[in-house]
Amino acid sequence: MSRSVEIRDIRNVGIMAHIDAGKTTTTERMLFYSGFVHKMGNVDEGNTVTDYMQQERERGITIVSAAITFFWDNHQINLIDTPGHVDFTAEVQRSLRVLDGAVAVFCGVAGVQPQSETVWRQADMYKVPRIAYVNKMDRVGADFDKAVQSIVDKLKAKAVPIQIPIGASDSFEGIIDVIEKKAYYFDDEESKSGVITSEIPQEYRNEVEMRYSSLLETLADFDDEIMVKYLNGEYISVETIQKTIRAATIQNSFIPVLCGSSFKNKGVQPLLDAVVHYLPSPLDRGETQGFISQASQEIEYRKPNEDEPFSGLVFKVITDPFVGQLSFLRVYSGKVNVGERVHNSTVGKNERIGKLLRIAANKREEVTQVFAGDIIAVPAMKFSRTGDTLCAVEHPILYEKIDFAEPVINQSIEVKTSSDQDKLVEALTKLSEEDPTFRFFNDAESGQTIISGVGELHLEIIVDRIKREFNVQTKVGRPQVSYRESISSEVIQEGIFERQSANGKGQYAKVVLQLSPNERGTGNTAEISSEMSQIPKQYFDVIIQSCLESLSVGPVAGYPMTDVHVNVIGGDFIEESANEIAYKIAASIATRDGCRKAHPMMLEPVFSVEVVSPEEHIGDVIADLSSRRGRIEGIQQHQSTQAVEAIVPLAQMFGYVTTLRSITQGRGSYSMKFYGYDIKV
């Protein structure tokens, strides 16, 4: 079997945005115009392809990222529709980790919103090239230039429009392509050929020329040919401009901005053209860096072609009612066939590829072979989890894992009938395997089962899934904040472990540590001082590991510690009495005793909150946030509404939606994202 599509014609693309910016609607229109579906799905009607979970259709939001493959202009597009709600940021993060490009969708009225900034930062972290799509140009208050300016100001991006809207709000009729200098109008009916090309309206011609000149000035920085021709007033072909935009976009130096109204079926076909023209193929992204093994720091590279040894990254695991566990895999190099054995280099075990499934949201198509650049699903893998590397048995490589946000909110959960206890544990185990930001544990003191997540909605969805998918009836307690502990001063502490044994040898170890506060948000770190020579190097790893493990329980209330730096500065060594266990215990004693002396303190999670409210209620909103120990960061004017930005402790935000509705007579809305930890007062 050979490739059906050349790797240069593959686009692995994600759609990312703030909640309610129109990601899923845009995806549905893409599927319709590409011929993948014959009737457009609608979020409000609960019949979309990518929002296939019952909870997604009921709430009208995306909860899990959905992968789907379709074709446009002889190109294969592997598209992932990601959630916009802050509680499901991990879904965006693990998708961006394996994607080659992204479409960032912005609301034409609100522009850049808080979650837009979060997903943009994640795309920056993984160096994902992207194009911007200003959606909802038909909405009252839509302002294209203001939305573009918010991308420039808030995201510090070189965003340049390559399209402009014809009209706005109720008068939005179509778009003008600045490069080709053509106007596009769209058939409002559900017609796949609904693009009508026309001359630019007279009143827009001066603006288009101005935008065209501005675009060329920007592109002249990236291409000498354009610079020379532009300065000499020579003709520059559309192909040259598009080639330069593509190169600059792939370098993450340029963001082409498009516009439209996906709900009104305007602008989606040119957006698909832009995905093909400007976003990279796996070839453009180049070789992928990994390591030979867990122990080795020797770097290994794999090129995106089928002649290389097979390698790929598991970026998502779900529990499927028909096939059990389903692992989503991005293939970076080589090819793999059904029936082959592959090596999981993260856990050091081999897996057998029993089936390969091409995914269309919740539908699957079996294939016998996949190649570099593909995104595929593999059922019934025994050992593989999110972030694991799969590779050829004879050619090991290990790719960088995905780091996820820590849970900040806890809730007790119990079954209504004791016979369901085993089913609950099974459900929680499967859900924690699926979702790296969800955890559960048994509280030793109370005997309760505690579930942990990143937000109230996150845990609400988990509990709902336990009821629907696993048929377990549960009762839950009130949400509780997951606090942290840290230290506020520097101490030097020694830890000594000494034990006599019957043979007279005994065990002895002494470790001297310097504990100091880390910068907030850094996490825990540990190192061996370069001047420390008293302890042999063979014990270094076990000492470091023990120090970090000991920080999992704090001295104040038993919460995990964070932002602590441990420096091993000395110790003692007696050859006949030394062993790993002795040094492990000595390091643990020194760490715990040192934390108790270093003026420990409690930290609480705080969130960045943006509240949008009509002007007449803004005073009440500010007063309420202040009463919740909120720190007001700023107020921005949005036409008839104002947006208040504040930093508020999570403990004060439970049930806030009810209060906000009461204060603003149901007209206010808010969004929040994790900001960090602060001292609990």
pLDDT tens-place string over residues 135-179: 999 999 999 999 999 999 989 899 999 999 999 988 999 999 999
3 state SS for 630-658: CEEEEEEEECCEEEEEEEEEHHHCCCHHH
Percent pLDDT > 90 in the chain is 54
Residue ranges and CATH numbers for the domains of the chain are 7-285 (3.40.50.300), 288-391 (2.40.30.10), 409-480 (3.30.70.870), 485-598 (3.30.230.10), 602-679 (3.30.70.240)
Higher pLDDT, 430 or 245: 245
How would residue 115 be classed by pLDDT, with cut points 50, 70 and 90? Answer: confident
From CA 482, how far away is CA 607, in angstroms rounded?
A: 13
Average confidence (pLDDT) over 343-361: 87
How far, in Å, CA of 522 to CA of 677, rounded?
Answer: 11
142 CA to centre of own chain: 28
Q: What is the pLDDT of residue 85?
A: 62
CA gap 159, 152 in Å, rounded: 6
pLDDT reported for residue 52: 47
**Chain-centroid distance, C-alpha 396:** 27
Least confident of 58-72, 252-266, 328-342, 549-563: 58-72
pLDDT computed for residue 111 by the predictor:
92
pTM of the predicted protein model:
0.74
Q: Whole-number mean pLDDT of the chain? A: 87
**Interaxial angle between packed helices 238-250 and 224-231, expressed in degrees from 0 to 180 and rounded to the nearest 10:** 140
Per-residue buried b or exposed e for 367-393, using 16+ beta carbons within 10 Å of the residue's own CB: bebbbbbbbbbbbebeebbbbbbbbbe
Tokens of 301: 């590279």
Q: Tell me what pLDDT residue 445 has.
A: 63
Listed in sequence order, the residues at least 6 apart from 28 whose beta carbon sits closer than 8 Å to its beta carbon are: 37, 40, 41, 42, 43, 48, 49, 50, 262
- Could you identify the residue written with the tokens 């020329």? 209
**Which amino acid is present at 629?**
R
User: pLDDT value at position 425?
Assistant: 93
CA 312/CA 304 separation, integer angstroms: 11
CA nearest to 25, candidates 9, 5, 41: 41
End-to-end Cα spacing for the chain: 65
Instruction: Please tell me the distance from the alpha carbon of residue 36 to that of residue 24, in angstroms, as a whole number.
Output: 15
pLDDT of 203 over the 80 cut: yes
The helix/strand/coil state of 3 is coil
pLDDT tens by residue, 621-661: 999 999 999 999 999 887 667 889 999 999 898 888 788 88
Alpha helices in 88-221 (DSSP H): 89-98, 114-125, 144-155, 205-219
Q: Tell whether the model's pLDDT for residue 581 goes beyond 80.
A: yes
Alpha-carbon span 375 to 72, nearest angstrom: 17
The answer to whether 298 and 291 have CB atoms below 8 angstroms apart is yes
Q: What is the pLDDT of residue 62?
A: 46
| pLDDT surpasses 70 at 41 | no
% of the chain surpassing 70 pLDDT = 91
Local structure of 388: helix, strand or coil: coil
Looking at residue 48, its pLDDT comes to 57
Q: Residue count of the chain, please give it.
A: 681
